[in-house]
Amino acid sequence: MNKKLKRVLQGLLFIIIIIGFIYIGTRDFNQEVVVDNERFDQDYINVSKDNVFKYVNAGEVYAKLKGNAIIFMGYPANIWSGYYANILNEAAKDTGIDEILYYDFYEDRENHNATYQSIVLNLSSYLVTLDDGTQELYAPTLVIVKNGKILAFDNETAFTTGNITPEDYWNEYQTGIKYNVFKTMFEDYLE
């Protein structure tokens, strides 16, 4: 009976494995994949689902700094990033830019990730040096690179001080100015 029970258990296990393979083979994995623009819309409520942002990691940013790219760096917990991204998205769509790379650097900065540190080193001439001599990325930041050369670097609101909120700062006038600055940057990139 012991051998008989063992064979029955092996047979059941075999059937379960076959059913598992059938289930995995017929499952539509694409249903659960959230595309970047939808994910960005979830992370940044100020930005519409119809956006141009593509998520990248530190390694991809580092590689793109040697080529051609428009890179937006921020993180969802930074409320300024959402307002900035909204203006950036509108200017990009109106200029014909169909992709802006998005790098959420928060964890990499907190963990002193080596690739993040390489990005900081590459951008060192554009970054603020603190009193203790350190340099970091601050949100929001925009870098536009063409043929390995930085065409534009912007982190205007990364160091906004005082009691001003993003809602107050990004009034119609300021938004219009930044929109035009972004459009000019994108036009230069496309030339």
In this structure, is the dihedral angle defined by the CA atoms of residues 172, 178, 181 and 183, taken in order, positive or negative?
Answer: negative
Q: Mapping DSSP to helix (H, G, I), strand (E, B) and coil, where does residue 129 land?
A: strand
Give me the average pLDDT of each 10-residue run along the chain (191 residues). Answer: 78 80 65 73 89 96 97 96 96 96 97 95 94 94 97 91 89 96 97 90
The partner residues of 141 in beta bridges, in order of sequence, read: 73
pLDDT the model gives residue 17 = 82
Residues 119 and 150 reside in one and the same domain:
yes
> In whole angstroms, what is the distance from residue 119 CA to residue 21 CA?
43
Residues 43 and 108 reside in one and the same domain:
yes
Residues 58 and 134 reside in one and the same domain:
yes
Residues 45 and 28 reside in one and the same domain:
no
> In whole angstroms, what is the distance from residue 14 CA to residue 134 CA?
60
> In whole angstroms, what is the distance from residue 97 CA to residue 91 CA?
8
In this structure, is the dihedral angle defined by the CA atoms of residues 182, 175, 76 and 90, taken in order, positive or negative?
Answer: negative
- Counting the structural domains of the chain, the total is 2
User: Model's pTM, two decimal places?
Assistant: 0.80
pLDDT the model gives residue 32 = 47
Using the CB atoms, write b or e for 123-156: b if 16+ within 10 Å.
beeebeeeeeeebebbbbbbbbbbeeeebbebbe
Residues 180 and 100 reside in one and the same domain:
yes
CB-CB contact of 136 with 109 (8 Å): yes
Residues 2 and 83 reside in one and the same domain:
no
> In whole angstroms, what is the distance from residue 51 CA to residue 37 CA?
6
pLDDT the model gives residue 34 = 60
Residues 21 and 50 reside in one and the same domain:
no
Residues 175 and 89 reside in one and the same domain:
yes
pLDDT the model gives residue 148 = 95
Residues 47 and 84 reside in one and the same domain:
yes
Residues 130 and 164 reside in one and the same domain:
yes
Domain enclosing residue 165, as ranges:
36-190
Residues 40 and 56 reside in one and the same domain:
yes
Q: Crossing angle for the helix pair 172-190 and 79-95, nearest 10 degrees?
A: 50
- Among residues 81, 132, 83, 126, the alpha carbon closest in space to that of 106 is found at 81
Residues 45 and 27 reside in one and the same domain:
no
Q: Mapping DSSP to helix (H, G, I), strand (E, B) and coil, where does residue 53 land?
A: strand
Supply the CATH number for residue 59's domain: 3.40.30.10
